[in-house]
Amino acid sequence: MAPTTLQSEHRGAKLALIYRADGHAQLIINGLVRDEGRSLTRLKLQSVVQTDYEWHEQISGTFERKDQSVRLTLMMSEVEIASGDFDLGSEA
């Protein structure tokens, strides 16, 4: 099955949080895997990205899985920039 993906672009950074039904997740920033992990319940992935000259932002991607659904959230410096609830259906 295809992975579930939440994407956003914020302050010039292209962000993606990818979640697979086996619990593997990746935080991708500007096309590079910056953090990854595995959990079947919840997980927070984090990294720092430079968004301007001498300006850095803390990026985090979290997921929380419940039964046949998963909630993905992308945050930049404590501000939610994207979130979504996804039905895993027959993937799980």
Domains and CATH numbers, the chain: 4-87 (2.40.128)
pLDDT for 91 beyond 50: no
Quote the pLDDT of residue 90: 60
d(CA 81, CA 64): 17
Calculate what percentage of the chain has a pLDDT beyond 90.
73
Q: Is 81 left (phi over 0), alpha (psi -120 to 50) or beta?
A: alpha
The reported pLDDT for the residue numbered 53 is 76
pLDDT for 44-89, tens place per residue? 999 998 877 778 889 999 999 998 899 999 999 889 999 999 998 7
Give percent of the chain above pLDDT 70: 96
61, 82 Cβ separation under 8 angstroms: no
Q: How many residues does the chain have?
A: 92
More confidently predicted of 49 and 37: 37
What pTM was computed for the model? Answer: 0.89
Q: Which of 20, 61, 16 is nearest to 43 (CA)?
A: 61
